[in-house]
Amino acid sequence: MAMSTRLPATALMQGDYMVGQKYGLEVAAPVDNAGNFTEEVGLESLVGANVLKDANSRVTELLEEKDLLLLRFPYSHKYPYDWRSKKPVITRATPQWFASIDGLRPKVMKAVNQVRFIPESYANRMRPMIEGRSDWCISRQRSWGVPIPAFYRKDDGEPLLNADVISHVRGIFEEKGSNAWYELSVADLLPAEYQDSAELYEKGTDTMDVWFDSGSSWAYVEEELGSPVDLYLEGQDQHRGWFQSSLITSVAVNDRAPYKSVMTHGFCVDENGRKMSKSVGNVIDPRDIIEGGKNQKAEPARGADVLRFWVASVDFSNEVSISQNILKNAEENVRRLRNRARFILGNIHDFDVASNSVEYDKLPAIDRCLVHRAESVFQQVKEAYDSYSFSTATKILDRFTSIDLSSLYLDLTKDRLYSAGKDSHTRRSCQTVLYWILVNMTKVIAPVLCHLAEDIWQSLPKQEETSVFLAGWCTPFPGKPEEAEPLVHHMDCVLQLRDPVNLALERAREGKMIGSALEASVKIAVKSGSDLQEALAKVAESEHSADSLSLLLSVSQAEYEAADELPAVSDEPSSEDQDLGVVVTVSGAAGTKCERCYVFSDAVGACKAHPSLCPRCADVVQELGVASPLEAAAGA
């Protein structure tokens, strides 16, 4: 190990004080309240010198005079500065009031071990702080704050602070407020038994540490909220502040923590990771997010819901970035959710819950499948909310509405909603599912997107409750079994075909074979004995047209055949999925395009009265009593 000669620097701090106490060294504090050396410094030439101004030069001059200064040169190093005034400060040893921690420490450690920390990792941050902390200095020398009701003898400075004094002053504060300490005389503040000697005392000027003050707040709110309260919420710095001061004061009085859980959040930083500061000029005012800033083009009004969504979508356990670009993305997420809700509302406008609802066991398999997926999602969101994982909740909900709802179900059901008969079973069953999903989805988003949720609720078909916030949490789909039946699992399996089919369709578009997917016919070769082959066979047994393979794949025609060995990929537009065990081949759809539903079929024109329509659309048009396919589409 390398050895060296060192010169220790004299910079006495708390550790040095503790060592001095251990060995009986005298405590010296030769600096007054103005930062000037007192006579206690021992050198007349230094008395009156200001520590931060001329004292340094005087000391170095004395050292040079006595030839005791070996070397002098500028050296940059860390030095304490006041965070508000940005000016250097010094540390002085002065008489203070302390709360003893050693006697409480075992009880405090026991209490903290019974608290739930969110995130859990912060428990390991607070425990060492308590284990290693010294006695708590609860007095401060500030011109504001709650006064410590101590009196001092004028002759020797002996303090007077006991239960009788505290009780008497507390009564005065209850009647006149804490300013009475500054407004009343010593005689007015002292209890009766000290009145005769009031002239011997003066009021103390120390104020209570604000953390002792705020850390005692549980005593005033627990009566109303219950004891202990469910949650304390604050920033990372409060493990040393409010969280800890509340814990210590509560354990001292009640032998328990004042809270069941503690949740810690990070601080806002800009998109470059810099801490937000007014002096830097990178602070984004929440009001500007809601109402817009001075430059409405650069800082447009985004509304309270966008701000709330951004808060919910970030991982609050770390530093949280915010910028106009990030807010723009949050606004886009809210807009997409609103558009999906609007689409559903537009398609259930004529739905009456009492007369049009379809029972669960009469729903097509695709509808049951979505009900199970939605119910699982709603439960996952609830669990995320309960664990304060708000970002997880927003991600789960966004994934469901983007993929399962929008890209899958709403895409598959447009034919049923737009082209089927108004009161047909296939349309009403779809409306039943959409209505149930939207009602529950509105309840799910309400804690975050409160305004959007209420807007949706007021636009829904008649509800028993006048507000979503009176409606409670999600309700299960009536008649749905707790466990999904085999047909639902089979449908989940069949829906996996959409990825390889869409890939083959895209290749057909690139080759100019088709434009719309409805111009395509799909042939699927599936490996014999596979789970997919069994699922296709079971779904094919469904009596519901909504479960037809062509509708599930959004094409005009679709068929499958089982094969012991999958065929080689042909020259026609195709795709292969080895995990599923399928080869998909696309060709042009056979037949003629129906002018109303756009599906190609050999049966178009079977109805002489409507030669450009398929049989289904012809029946709907006749039921509506209109002649034009376009009018019929609009009427449906």
The predicted model gives 440-456 an average pLDDT of: 97
- State what percent of residues in the chain have pLDDT above 90: 63
211 in Cβ contact with 243 (< 8 Å): no
Angle between helix axes 425-445 and 450-459 (nearest 10 degrees) is 150
- Residues 555-569, mean pLDDT to the nearest whole number: 92
Q: Which helix (H) or strand (E) holds 126?
A: helix 123-132
With a cut of 70, say whether residue 260 has pLDDT above it: yes
Q: Are 368 and 375 in contact, with CB atoms under 8 Å apart?
A: no
In this prediction, residues 552-569 reach a mean pLDDT of 92
Answer whether the bond into residue 159 is a cis peptide, omega within 30°: no
217 CB neighbour count, 10 Å cutoff: 16
Distance CA 213, CA 203 (A): 20
At 4-19, the pLDDT tens digits run 566 665 556 667 777 8
Give the C-alpha separation, 496 to 397, whole Å.
Answer: 21
| Span 326-470 CATH architecture | Orthogonal Bundle (1.10)
Distance CA 293, CA 113 (A): 46
Is 616 strand, coil or helix? helix
Residue 152 phi/psi, 5-degree rounding, is -130, 140
Q: What is the pLDDT of residue 250?
A: 92
Of 60 and 2, the structure prediction assigns the larger pLDDT to: 60
**Residue linked to tokens 């405590």:** 27
How many alpha carbons lie under 13 Å from residue 430 in its C-beta half-sphere? 29
Return d(Cα 290, Cα 359) in angstroms, integer. 43
pLDDT for 202-235, tens place per residue?
A: 999 999 998 998 999 888 877 777 778 889 999 8
**Pure H helices in 177-274:** 180-183, 186-189, 210-215, 218-225, 242-254
Residues 272-297: what's their mean pLDDT?
84
CA distance 250 to 269: 34
The pLDDT assigned to 557 comes to 97
The lowest-confidence range among 14-18, 90-94, 622-626 is 14-18
Question: What is the CB neighbour count within 10 angstroms for residue 522?
Answer: 27
One-character DSSP codes across 489-558 = HHHHHHHTTHHHHHHHHHHHHHTTS-SSGGGEEEEEEEETTSHHHHHHHHHHT-S-GGG-HHHHHTSSEE
Amino acid at 493: C
Query: Does residue 258 carry a pLDDT above 70?
Result: yes
d(CA 588, CA 604): 16
pLDDT over 80 (residue 284): yes
Of the given ranges (90-104, 131-145, 250-264, 618-632), which has the lowest mean pLDDT? 618-632
Contacts by residues 478-486 (CB-CB < 8 Å, ≥ 24 positions apart): 478/357, 478/359, 478/360, 479/359, 479/360, 479/361, 480/360, 480/368, 480/371, 480/372, 480/375, 484/368, 484/372, 485/368, 486/538
Q: Is the pLDDT of residue 1 over 50?
A: no
Position 427 pLDDT exceeds 90: yes
Please compute Rg for the chain using Cα positions: 38
Summarize the confidence of residues 434-462 as an average pLDDT: 96
48 Rama sector, left if φ>0, alpha if ψ -120 to 50, beta otherwise: left
Q: Which residue has the higher pLDDT, 33 or 2?
A: 33
Mean of all residue pLDDT scores within the chain:
90
Number of H helices, E strands in the chain: 25, 18
| Higher-scoring residue by pLDDT: 142, 570 | 142
| Buried-exposed string 150-180: b where 16+ CB fall within 10 A, e elsewhere | bbbeeeeeeebeeeebeebbeebbeeeebeb
Q: Where are the alpha helices (DSSP H) in 348-424?
A: 353-356, 365-386, 390-399, 411-419
At 201 the three-state DSSP class reads strand
The three-class DSSP label of residue 567 is coil
- Boundaries of every domain in the chain: 15-93, 99-265, 326-470, 486-590, 600-635
User: What's the pLDDT score for residue 9?
Assistant: 58
pLDDT of the residue at 13: 64
Residue 402's pLDDT band, with cuts at 50, 70 and 90, is very high
Predicted confidence at residue 318, as pLDDT, reads: 85
Which of the following CATH numbers is that of domain 486-590: 3.40.640.10, 1.10.569.10, 3.40.50.300, 3.30.2320.20? 3.30.2320.20
Q: What is the per-residue pLDDT across 6-62, written as a single tens digit (0 to 9) for each?
A: 666 555 666 777 787 788 888 788 898 889 999 988 888 999 999 999 998 999 999
- Summarize pLDDT for 475-509 with one digit per residue, the tens: 999 999 888 889 999 999 999 999 999 999 999 99
Mean pLDDT of 293-318: 90
Tell me, which fold does domain 99-265 have in CATH? Answer: Rossmann fold (3.40.50)
**pLDDT category, 568, cuts 50, 70, 90?**
confident
3-state secondary structure 429-454: HHHHHHHHHHHHHHHHHCCCCHHHHH
What are the tens digits of pLDDT across the range 141-166?
A: 888 888 999 999 999 889 999 999 99
So what's the pLDDT on residue 634?
53
- The tens digit of pLDDT for each residue in 571-614 reads 789 999 999 999 999 999 999 999 999 999 999 999 999 999 99
CA 409, CA 424: separation in Å to the nearest integer?
18
User: Which SS3 state, helix, strand or coil, does residue 261 take?
Assistant: strand
What average pLDDT does the segment 88-94 reach? 85
